[in-house]
Structure 1
Amino acid sequence: MTSLDLAQDRTYRLTQYAHGGGCACKIPPGELESVVAGLTGPQQSDGGELLVGLDDGDDAAAVRIAGDTAVVATADFFTPVVDDAYDWGRIAAANALSDVYAMGARPAVAVNLLSWPREVLPFELAREVLRGGADIGAQAGCPVAGGHSVDDPEPKYGMAVTGVGNPEALLRNDAGRAGMPLSLTKPLGIGVLNSRHKATGEVFDEAVETMTTLNARAATDAVAAGVVCATDVTGFGLLGHLLKTARASGVSAIVDSTAVPYLNGAREALRDGYVSGGTRRNLDWVYPHVDLSAVAEQEALLLADAQTSGGLLVAGEVPGAPVIGELVAQGEHLITVC
């Protein structure tokens, strides 16, 4: 019997070792914005020109280092979203890489970020987490080279990722304009299914497959189609990330709730009460800026559902992705759901 077999001989439900799970454990968006307000640094350095920074809460930072080359940098990590160590590693890595794809760039190198309760959980499980991350890096063609680890009461894993892209073709959340359609490249419902998994141990294979699917193809298709505005849908939910995009772009958005796709079992999980605190905080944050009068609270909760490694929300059309709304001239509400 291998050391991993010995570790798994006792059932370790990783989600039970953390207070939250996945991107639902993010600091609430309203609190985070108040923390980073005013924390702007120089726009120019010896290394290059800052193109995207803290101003609009975009997915990653971008610096032009040459006329046709921008470096895109991000970091993302979180507590276990599933009990399987290998799957958690794959999900966390795909989620970290997503910030680079959401900017229309391609990942060049990643380093691991690992926090581990070394006296509570066996290192054989940590190795499985890292193996999952390495396999996703290999799938993305992105070397995973080293990283940093700390002893921590809660397990956490993710990556710092550096990518490269064309500074003139970056996807930004402040580039939306009235008349652009809104496409969503992955279904929603990851948050409520993960909450059910944490509570019951039920495994939702479709949700795991969705979270481990890279946003590489969607990003490539968007750039090829001339799209200039996009973001990924993660911990702040569809409504939260769309709100940030509409606000940064100076437009409003209309969402057709009947066109939004959901994972199998998502509505049942919502019906049975598996809603994370992060999702409820998302809805509270967007509520003053969104007209939700046409939908029930349950539908609003799904639209605010905290996603982990979700899809891209693209201001444009992407092959195979449903159009769920459009950007319009700024009105009384930044988002209207119909």
Structure 2
Amino acid sequence: MSEYENIKLTSLSSKGGCGCKIGPADLKQVIGSLPVAEQHPDLLVGIDTSDDAGVFRISDELALVQTVDFFTPIVDDPYSFGQIAAANAISDIYAMGGKPLTVLNIVAFPITTLDKRILADILRGAADKVKEAGATLVGGHSIDDKEPKFGLAVTGLIHPDRIKTNAGAKAGDKLILTKPIGVGILTTSIKKDQLSAAEVERLTSVMATLNKTSAEIMSKYEVNGCTDVTGFGLVGHALEMAKGSGVGITLVKDSVPLLPRVKELAENGFVPGGTKNNFMHVKDDVVFPEHLSQVDQWILCDAVTSGGLLISVNPEQAVALLDELIRGGVEASIIGETTAEGAGRIVVK
């Protein structure tokens, strides 16, 4: 826990410490109102398929992968918050199959009312995670704000022929998830003092874990599509994959790994608004079994911070990939498959 005994970072956010993105429905409405920009011939991945990062070709053998992400505190320990924010932002580079190169810090902080050591610890946590990723901090920007917020703008490198997108899945692929879900429900529970110190530590460890090992291992296999599971939840990001790839997706609910106590806490009312918004956005494109409770449906849509990769892999290589991920210390599971039927839709079993 934080050494700053009288400060709970999660209590300083009017969003309730969930760190949620703007909801997918609202974001779609805003972006849809903008004029269509002329696409540059070297823009290999833009906003068309709601992918994790943009990719811009600079030569026949090299392209830049670019992303940005920031949010309000979801844990109370400043160092851990910095680590989580960094891991979350860098994850987009890994999801595209890229290698992170440089990062810029994005800081909003109430510098006159909070101890400056808190900000120093946030930056130190991020710096340690950036170093672990093999990237380099090159600068950043800060503003004085009443609510603390932190994140990174990240640039990575990739060969133009090796890009992994959420629009590349092929019918018949197996789907592998590399981290358990339930983060949004548990981070909401932190604000209500519902988690023990050990449970907070477990949750923090999951969120602060880089997707580096998963990305490095998947590069050896015939992976057709990939995305990371973050604010729009497992079902939301899977639906983007289904729509972008023109495939259907079947998810096996009992195969989806959950963090401890997620269902119990959700049943007790600790479901963030972002999770419920995710459900409302996807429900018309998802077939849930009749016996599945509303809570279980919300859990599959739970807004995640710094989640795992959702990997769409050739079915003949899925078991080998899964085995290597597990040997590498990744909490991976096969959770479903893509189908030729029902393009752009999800069936939960």
User: Which of the five TM-score ranges fits, normalised by the shorter chain?
Assistant: over 0.9
What displacement does 1:226 show?
2.1
| Structure-1 residue corresponding to 2:340 | 329
**Does the aligned pair in 2 maintain the 1:64–1:70 contact within 8 Å?**
yes
2:120 to 123, 127, 130: 127
1:244 aligned partner: 240
Aligned partners of 1:205, 1:8: CA distance in 2, in Å? 15
Give the C-alpha shift of residue 332 in structure 1.
7.5
Measure how far apart 1:8 and its partner are. 4.2
> Who is 2:159 aligned against?
166
* Correspondence for 1:210: 206
Match of 1:17 in 2: 12
> Is the aligned partner of 1:28 residue 2:39?
no
- Give the drift of 1:41: 3.1
1:302 maps onto 2:287 in alignment: no
Aligned pairs (5 A) from 1:81-96: 81-96=74-89
Q: Distance in 2 between matches of 1:20 and 1:236?
A: 16
What amino acid maps onto 2:262 in structure 1? A
Q: Which residue number corresponds to residue 196 of structure 1? A: 189
Post-superposition shift, 1:42?
Answer: 3.6
Partner of 2:172: 179
Deviations 1:192-221 (A, max 9, x none): 111100111634211111001100111122
Q: Distance in 2 between matches of 1:284 and 1:330?
A: 23
Specify whether residues 8 and 259 from structure 1 end up closer, same or farther in structure 2 by C-alpha distance, changes over 3 A only: closer
Spell out, residue by residue over 1:33-66, the C-alpha distance to the aligned partner (whole angstroms, 9 max, x if none): 1211255434327xxx000001011000001111
Deviation for aligned residue 1:293: 2.7
Q: How far off is 1:120 after superposition?
A: 2.2
Question: How large is the RMSD of aligned CA atoms in angstroms?
Answer: 1.7
Q: How does 1:34-45 map to 2 (within 5 A)?
A: 34-37=29-32, 38-44=34-40
Say if 2:10 and 2:76, in contact at 8 Å, map to a contact too.
yes
TM-score by length of 2: 0.90
User: Which of these residues, 264, 267, 274, is aligned with residue 268 of structure 1?
Assistant: 264
Q: Distance in 2 between matches of 1:14 and 1:178?
A: 44
Gaps of 5+ in 1: 1-6
Asked if structure 2 preserves the Cα contact closer than 8 Å seen for 1:112 and 1:160, the reply is yes
Report how far residue 272 of structure 1 moved: 1.8
How high is the TM-score relative to the length of structure 1?
A: 0.93
Q: Evaluate the alpha carbon distance shift between residue 145 and residue 333 of structure 1 in structure 2; reply closer, same or farther with a 3 A threshold.
A: closer
| C-alpha distance 123-216 of structure 1, shift in aligned 2 (>3 A) | same
Q: Tell me: CA distance 1:51–1:103, structure 2 relative to 1, closer, same or farther (3 Å).
A: same
User: What is the CA-CA distance between 1:291 and the residue it aligns to?
Assistant: 0.4
The yes-or-no answer on 1:99 pairing with 2:95 is: no
Question: What does 1:54-93 align with in structure 2 at a 5 Å threshold?
Answer: 54-93=47-86
- Counterpart in 2 of 1:118? 111
Give 3-state SS (helix, strand or coil) of 2:68's partner: strand
Secondary structure of the equivalent of 1:224?
coil
Displacement of 1:82 after TM fit?
Answer: 0.3
Is contact 1:76-1:158 (8 Å) kept? Answer: yes
| Alpha-carbon distance in 2 for matches of 1:174, 1:333 | 11
Amino acid paired to 2:164: L
305, 310, 329: which one aligns with 1:313: 310
Q: How many residues align?
A: 329
What amino acid maps onto 1:237 in structure 2? G
Task: Summarize the Cα distance change of 1:333–1:53 in structure 2 as closer, same or farther, 3 Å threshold.
Answer: closer
Going from structure 1 to structure 2, the CA distance change for 1:9 and 1:231 (only over 3 Å counts) comes to closer
Once the two structures are TM-superposed, the CA of residue 22 in structure 1 deviates from its matched residue by 6.4
Whether the 8 Å contact between 1:21 and 1:80 is mirrored in structure 2 is no
In the alignment, structure 2 segments of 5+ residues that lack a partner are 327-331
- Using the TM superposition, give the Cα deviation of residue 189 of structure 1 relative to its aligned residue in structure 2, in angstroms: 1.2
Within 1, Cα distance between the matches of 2:62 and 2:246?
28
Shift of 1:23: 6.3
Q: Distance in 1 between matches of 2:247 and 2:46?
A: 20
Deviations 1:79-118 (CA, angstroms, capped at 9, x unpaired):
0010100000000000000000000001000010000012
Q: Report the equivalent of 1:4.
A: none
> How far, CA to CA, are the matches of 1:28 and 1:21 in structure 2?
15
Q: Give distance in 2, aligned partners of 1:21 and 1:288.
A: 28
Distance in 2, Cα, partners of 1:216 & 1:156: 24
Q: How many Å separate the matches in 2 of 1:56 and 1:129?
A: 33
Q: Classify 1:43/1:300 alpha carbon distance in 2 versus 1 (closer, same or farther; 3 Å).
A: same
Query: Over residues 175-204 of structure 1, what are the superposed CA-to-partner deviations in whole Å (9 max), with x where a residue is unaligned?
Result: 111101111000111111111001116342
